[in-house]
Amino acid sequence: MVENSGSIEALLQEDRTFPPPEKFRQQANIRDPRVYARARRDPEAFWAKFAEELHWFKKWDQVLDWKPPYAKWFVGGKTNICYNCVDRHLESARRNKAALVWEGEPGDWKVYTYRDLYREVCQFANGLKSLGVRKGDRVTIYLPMVPELPIAMLACARIGAAHSVVFGGFSADALRDRTNDCQAKVLITADGGYRRGSVVPLKQNADDSLNGSPSIQKVVVVRRTGHADDKMVAGRDIWWHDLVKGQPMTCPPEQMDSEDLLYILYTSGTTGKPKGIVHTTGGYMVGAYATAKWIFDLKEDDIYWCTADIGWVTGHSYIVYGPLANGATTVMYEGSPDYPDRDRFWAIVEKYAATILYTAPTAIRTFMRWGEDYPRKHDLSTLRLLGSVGEPINPEAWVWYWKNIGGGRCPVVDTWWQTETGSILISALPGITTLKPGSATQPFPGIDAEILDERGQPVGPGKGGYLVIKKPWPSMLRNIYGDPQRFVQQYWSRYPDTYFTADGAKVDEGGYYWLLGRVDDVIKVSAHRISTMEVESALVDNSKVAEAACIGKAHEMKGEAVVAFVTLKEGVAGTPAVMNELKQHVVNKIGSIARPDDIYFTAELPKTRSGKIMRRLLRDVAEGRALGDTTTLADPAVVEALKKRYGDEE
């Protein structure tokens, strides 16, 4: 049932445990395990307590209104998340504290205090207003990891416009789909961004996307690399620096209803079409604030660095909103971990004296392969807490991280969550939880998780099943933008009034959660979320392709890699040139993150008698395993032939 069951046994043999180091425990914000019981007794009161720590123009009348699958949190409350992330900190000496520490890949860097951030956000917010952006409008942001990215998000939130950030690694086509889906009025981009020493031509991609994005009226362009000075379109494009010039340095924050739209973030699901996950204001703010505070144990003098890209949800919640709502110092890095050398991350930790580091297992595995010498060159002694996110972390990588980056003194919090959940739902509390490498440990207080079988029965300890969340939580998605039917069908139709995560999981005798991977057609490639269906649609869009089926193949570094099985049209030969053309086609349609590692050409795809492609068998072929049950196939010879041709190479 759970597809990746091959890895369960290995995980469950993991029996090393790591109690919170005494020194860490003594200073931890949360030390009393009774928080779990308190939250269980009265989850609404538990969340409301966090909400009370934030600023509301008008307090809520009701904490939760739950009419499954629709939840409203902090009903009747009026607030503004930008106000809470910026203005709230100006009342104390925090105003002069570093809010954002940014480092560019070439080595340039900037520090914004909370007061600086306030000015920049207000000026840009006024700039957006001058372009006609109003409360309720959508703004697409397609930027590299530059300070203007969080500034633009906060400015949108300030004036009540919803942002839709599109990862800078996505192609023009992918950008166009997302812009059109939400009918954005303004697009914010840059002339380029630096990645591994070269320039990513964002403005070029943006321009390509714009033939076919009629809703976009204005394009704001950040000058980062100096690569588009001659490409500005008169009347449509405006430089960021020209737009903010002379704008007033204050801008009143819009009083947003708790349930007003905050942002849309597109993510991959089980079809070829990405879905716009809808997050609203009050609940999302409380969820991001509470989890950042407790899981990252944030203190006034922390220097917190999350290495994600803001184009993904991790960056939204744990570079921008969570840390800033807490008044923390958040570090942001533009480029790649191996530029100019493989010690770049450790150089950054040392340079800014980072105390908390949050990254993905795929990065940790890469650092492991590069060897201990790179981290050893730097003083990492300021670090006190480490985090992991985005995919299951294998125990070896966990222990390596703990030892070589954390010096054996930093708890490692493995945090499970999704774009849809808005904030972390399963994680250790580092001052309380005894850690087990490879386990995300326990649901956050107030989160009611369970593992169910096909019939909706709890499976009991040690058994694999589907991870579900039984009660609403503040930062949960509210809808899929423009597609409420898909929202209901995708998340709420498997079990009554219960959120279906599409992850497999298992709880051990000690109540620890072990995540086992997706049970749908979503794969995680270097912790990036991709749908195999999306890659298939991109492939069949090529005129040489008759049919395609994609799978995620286990990959030592990336976690999973995209592998495509392709049937070409009559008369087209599967040459290396065609293979390259198809790989490039996927890059053009989606972005390089979706580029297939391998393409296997086949005369036919293995299908059931009802015509369903059996991806499970394709995975067996790609991973060199014995074929699973083939009795439901229309023609078992198809997969036998594939196995013979490709399967035995392993």
Two tokens, residue 130: 């001058």
C-beta of 104 vs 315, nearer to ligand WTA: 315
Shortest distance, position 144 Cβ to ligand WTA, whole Å: 19
Shortest distance, position 71 Cβ to ligand WTA, whole Å: 19
C-beta of 326 vs 419, nearer to ligand WTA: 419
C-beta of 412 vs 613, nearer to ligand WTA: 412
Beta carbons within 8 Å of 628's beta carbon, 6+ residues apart: 616, 617, 620
Contact yes or no for 171/590 (Cβ under 8 A) = yes
Find the DSSP H helices in 218-264.
Answer: 240-244
The rounded distance, in Å, linking the Cα atoms of 337 and 364 is 11
Count of positions (residues) in the chain? 650
C-beta of 44 vs 448, nearer to ligand WTA: 448
C-beta of 213 vs 359, nearer to ligand WTA: 359
Shortest distance, position 394 Cβ to ligand WTA, whole Å: 11
Two tokens, residue 237: 């494009």
Shortest distance, position 31 Cβ to ligand WTA, whole Å: 23
C-beta of 269 vs 272, nearer to ligand WTA: 269
Q: Which residues bind ligand WTA (CB under 6 A)?
A: 267, 312-314, 389-392, 414-419, 440, 503, 515, 518, 524, 529
Shortest distance, position 419 Cβ to ligand WTA, whole Å: 3
- Nearest alpha-carbon partner for 273 in 21, 481, 465: 481
Question: E-assigned strands of 68-120?
Answer: 70-75, 78-79, 98-103, 109-113
C-beta of 417 vs 565, nearer to ligand WTA: 417
Shortest distance, position 392 Cβ to ligand WTA, whole Å: 4
How many CB atoms are located within 10 Å of the residue 108 CB? 10
The rounded distance, in Å, linking the Cα atoms of 566 and 368 is 34
Can you give the C-alpha Rg of the chain in angstroms? 24
C-beta of 528 vs 595, nearer to ligand WTA: 528
Shortest distance, position 440 Cβ to ligand WTA, whole Å: 5
Is 461 strand, coil or helix? coil
Shortest distance, position 167 Cβ to ligand WTA, whole Å: 10
Contact yes or no for 100/112 (Cβ under 8 A) = yes
Peptide bond before 69: cis, by omega within 30 degrees of 0? yes
C-beta of 105 vs 309, nearer to ligand WTA: 309
C-beta of 83 vs 266, nearer to ligand WTA: 266
End-to-end CA distance of the chain: 25
- Nearest alpha-carbon partner for 475 in 446, 510, 504: 446
Shortest distance, position 312 Cβ to ligand WTA, whole Å: 6
Shortest distance, position 242 Cβ to ligand WTA, whole Å: 35
Shortest distance, position 296 Cβ to ligand WTA, whole Å: 14
Is 529 strand, coil or helix? strand
- Nearest alpha-carbon partner for 545 in 602, 506, 607: 602
Shortest distance, position 529 Cβ to ligand WTA, whole Å: 4
List, as one string, the DSSP characters of 363-431: HHHHHHHH-THHHHTS--TT--EEEEESSPPPHHHHHHIIIIITTTTS-EEEEB--TTT-S--B---TT
C-beta of 150 vs 606, nearer to ligand WTA: 150
Shortest distance, position 268 Cβ to ligand WTA, whole Å: 8
The one-character DSSP state at 649 is G
C-beta of 359 vs 602, nearer to ligand WTA: 359
C-beta of 206 vs 413, nearer to ligand WTA: 413
Please name the residue that has the structure tokens 């209901």: 488
The rounded distance, in Å, linking the Cα atoms of 176 and 186 is 13
C-beta of 83 vs 416, nearer to ligand WTA: 416
Burial 396-428 (b: 16+ CB within 10 A, else e): ebbbbbbebbbeeebbbbbbbbbbbbbbbbbbb
Shortest distance, position 96 Cβ to ligand WTA, whole Å: 33
- Nearest alpha-carbon partner for 337 in 374, 304, 310: 374
The rounded distance, in Å, linking the Cα atoms of 205 and 192 is 10
